Structure 1
Amino acid sequence: MKQFIFLLIVTCLLCSCSSDDSDTGLVGRWQLTEVLVDPGDGSGTFNPVNSNKTVTFNSNGTWSSNGTMCFISTESSNGTVGTYSETGLYLQSDSCSNPDWQIPFEQNGSTLIVSYFCIEGCQEKFIKR
């Protein structure tokens, strides 16, 4: 009887797990789609942009971008590279004027929001491609 109950519990647990085929991990290529620049009163909102800027996260803990990640910019020239943790980008020493900065980001599914050091709020929103 105990084995039957154990088997029933295990079966229920396995059946309750959902399978999500979409890749929501950080590794992969992300496309810039929106930027937020707050005017100083907290009323800033994300606005769509037409940009070729991407950032790519590799499984070995490195990242690269075809645009600058030193400051907010929609340009896709002057690429930057570095390493990353679960919460931030670390810039390679020759990428920006202050390579010790950690640029914070937050990932939620297929959306990545990168926050820059601005007096007023400024962020870039990327979508996983």
Structure 2
Amino acid sequence: MKKLLFLFSLTLIVISCNTDDDSSNTNLGIEGNWQLVAILADPGDGSGTYQPATGKTLQFLSTGVVNCNVSFCFGSLTQATTTGTYDTANTTIDVDNCTGTYVLNGNMLEVNHFCIEPCGERYVRVN
């Protein structure tokens, strides 16, 4: 009887343990809303670091459309909403003839624009 109770208890423990208990949105892909938290400030010599930033949001729709609340390109923060496309196969974003690449790491999105010196932005998921 003790062996049966032990096996039953062990079975319950194994079943209740789940290695995927992380309730974060790490498997949602790029779709959703993202808020800017940092930009790469580089003087042109590669010594740049990410500095805190705010004010820019990206919205990735399931249809391959991306909306930005300001100009998507670095250095032109107009208040006009811009719309473009993104490609998950190539990890690229193209808005108003400004192309960038992205890396998605869980709830962190890093966007790199094509610039003379390193240009980058980091976003966190907000939905």
Band of TM-score, shorter chain:
0.7 to 0.9
Mapping for residues 85-96 of structure 1, pairs under 5 Å: 85-86=87-88, 87-91=91-95, 95=96
- Does structure 1 residue 102 correspond to structure 2 residue 106? no
1:112 to 105, 109, 112: 109
- Does structure 1 residue 48 correspond to structure 2 residue 45? no
Shift of 1:53: 1.1
1:120 and 1:73 map into 2 onto residues whose CA distance is: 13
1:109 and 1:68 map into 2 onto residues whose CA distance is: 25
Shift of 1:76: 6.2
Q: Per the alignment, in what secondary structure is the counterpart of residue 49 of structure 2?
A: coil
Q: Which residue of 2 aligns with 1:5?
A: none
2:99, 2:113 within 8 Å by CA — same for their partners in 1?
Answer: no
2:21 and 2:61 map into 1 onto residues whose CA distance is: 24
Instruction: Report the identity percentage.
Output: 36
Structure 2: 5+ residue stretches without partners? 1-13
Q: Per the alignment, in what secondary structure is the counterpart of residue 84 of structure 1?
A: strand
RMSD over aligned Cα, in angstroms? 2.3
State how many pairs are aligned.
Answer: 109
Shift of 1:60: 1.7
Q: Which residue of 1 aligns with 2:63?
A: 60
2:24 to 22, 26, 40: 22
Shift of 1:90: 2.2
2:59, 2:67 within 8 Å by CA — same for their partners in 1?
Answer: yes
Structure 1: 5+ residue stretches without partners? 1-11
Shift of 1:102: 3.3
TM-score by length of 1: 0.72
Shift of 1:107: 0.9
2:38 to 30, 34, 38: 34
1:53, 1:74 within 8 Å by CA — same for their partners in 2?
Answer: no
